[in-house]
């Protein structure tokens, strides 16, 4: 009984060794190039969102060390609440979300407290 294998790139049937995943080098190269550019784009997009989030928080802070602002205001500036670099819990169990060295704490009634942290 033969198992039919097909090329991951073009879907053509593969002849020969059982560990082959592509029909030829061209298909392997095309497939790997696509994979790499997808991954590169993903990383670039996330980096762009993080950079934008960080800038929005810094712009809002201005020269203040700490600032309360409405969530809606941040959203209207393009802030994306899904993306942050890490979290920090204080001894009261409050969880701050950080974008590099600037972070925020969600407060009641859709307020947000923006804080700055010294670099590690």
Q: Which residues contact 96 (CB under 8 A, 6 or more apart)?
A: 87, 88, 89, 90, 103, 104, 105, 115
Q: How far is the CB of 92 from Zn ion (least distance, A)?
A: 58
Q: How far is the CB of 2 from Zn ion (least distance, A)?
A: 19
Q: How far is the CB of 22 from Zn ion (least distance, A)?
A: 5
Does 6 participate in binding Zn ion (rule CB under 5 A)? no
Measure the N-to-C terminal CA separation of the chain; round to a whole number of Å. Answer: 61
Nearest Cα neighbor of 59 from 82, 78, 72, 40 is 78
- Find the binding residues for Zn ion in span 24-83 (CB under 5 A): 27
Q: How far is the CB of 51 from Zn ion (least distance, A)?
A: 38
Which of 5, 7, 49, 73 touches Zn ion (CB under 5 A)? 7
Does 23 participate in binding Zn ion (rule CB under 5 A)? yes
Q: Are 74 and 32 in contact (CB under 8 A)?
A: no
# residues contacting Zn ion (CB under 5 A): 6
Which of 6, 10, 35, 46 touches Zn ion (CB under 5 A)? 10
Nearest Cα neighbor of 81 from 104, 48, 63, 107 is 104
Residues that bind Zn ion (CB under 5 A): 7, 9-10, 12, 23, 27
């Amino acid at each position: 009984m033969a198992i039919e294998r097909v090329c991951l790139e073009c879907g053509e049937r593969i002849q020969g060794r059982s560990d082959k995943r592509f029909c030829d080098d061209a298909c392997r190269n095309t497939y790997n190039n696509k994979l790499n550019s997808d991954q590169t784009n993903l990383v670039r997009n996330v980096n762009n969102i993080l950079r934008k989030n960080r800038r929005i928080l810094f712009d809002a802070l201005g020269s203040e060390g700490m600032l309360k602002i409405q969530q809606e205001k941040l959203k209207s500036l393009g802030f994306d609440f899904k993306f942050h670099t890490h979290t920090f819990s204080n001894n009261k169990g409050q969880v701050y979300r950080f974008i590099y060295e600037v972070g925020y704490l969600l407060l009641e009634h859709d307020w947000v407290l923006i804080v700055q942290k010294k670099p590690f």
